[in-house]
Amino acid sequence: MKRIIGFLTLLSLLVLTACSSQVTDPKTDAWDSYQKRGALTIGFDNTFVPMGFQEKNGSNVGFDIDLANRIFEKQGLKVNWQPIDWDMKETELNNGTIDLIWNGYTQTEERAEKVNFSLPYMANEQVLVAKKASGIQTPTDMKDKVLGAQAGSSGYLKFEEYPDLLKQYVKNNRATQYQSFNEALIDLENDRIDGLLIDRVYANYYLTQKGVLEDYQVFPVGFPEEAFAVGIRKSDKTLQERLNQGLLELYQTGQFQEISDKWFGDDVASKQLKEEAKK
């Protein structure tokens, strides 16, 4: 009887979950569907400060959160923010369980095989973070040291793609993978890893908020420069057009700069977005 009750409880939860979530047909241009339901779903890593993260009170905040909410509010659409396993982001998108990947998502050739991208809207680079007390100041100083990286991140992809820059030095030629940068930074603080490969924007914000930036070395490894963009299903052509239009309008009206100043104290727009906005 207990097993039957347990099964029925589980079944009811699954039914409620299915009814409460909207799965988009991944093979179609779904703009009409978004308009009919008045909403779309964006997948994000809810620990990635300051791009998009969850506060203690449960609210979702961040630079990307503000940008997306502002753009789709003008389109008459509500954004449902869906925390996801970052390592499964493209699978979630192409299964239709989310409609966009928007959370400090780096544009790469490998990812372009699976998704389309919006205009790149923000520049970024991968950096190595290590305690100053460790004496680590260059990639070669990581020889036989333990490295951490987020699973599925652009940093980890570049670690594998350019082995001569960092991989050849670190212990066992591998990186300890974490589900979130928060976990990795905690391990770095407690000396369970010696260095962390991470987005500069995250590293600077996190260490500044903790008041410990001066205790750490933050330096580039030599990987090519990056740009953040929004990941879109290849079939969603109209959504891609509306999103690009929204980014340009935000910059042309100064709203992008307003949001950027709120989170970074500076205009972090990519060179391409600035140039396109002038046309």
Q: What is the pLDDT of residue 7?
A: 44
- AA identity, residue 9: T
- AA identity, residue 265: G
Identify the CA nearest to 75 among candidates 251, 244, 262.
244
CATH homologous superfamily of 126-224 equals Periplasmic binding protein-like II (3.40.190.10)
Residues of the chain with pLDDT under 70: 1-21
Identify the CA nearest to 72 among candidates 239, 195, 190.
239
Q: What is the pLDDT of residue 21?
A: 53
Radius of gyration over alpha carbons of the chain, in Å? 20
193 vs 216: CA distance, rounded Å? 14
Do the beta carbons of residue 220 and residue 138 sit within 8 Å? no
The β-bridge partners of 48 are 52
Fold (topology level) of 21-123+227-278: D-Maltodextrin-Binding Protein; domain 2 (3.40.190)
H-type helices in the chain, by residue range?
2-20, 31-37, 63-74, 89-95, 109-112, 154-161, 181-189, 200-210, 237-252, 255-264, 271-278
> Residue 106 carries which DSSP code?
B
End-to-end alpha-carbon separation of the chain, Å? Answer: 69
Over residues 137-170, the pLDDT tens digits come to 999 999 999 999 999 999 999 999 999 999 999 9
198 vs 184: CA distance, rounded Å? 9
CA atoms within 13 A on the CB side of 240: 15
Q: What is the pLDDT of residue 261?
A: 92
Where does residue 184 rank: exposed (0-12), middle (13-18), buried (19+ CB within 10 A)? buried
> Global pTM?
0.79
Domain ranges of the chain: 21-123+227-278, 126-224
Q: 3-state DSSP call for residue 192?
A: coil
Strands 52-54 and 47-48: antiparallel
Domains 21-123+227-278 and 126-224 share a fold: yes
Identify the CA nearest to 118 among candidates 247, 254, 269.
247
- AA identity, residue 60: N
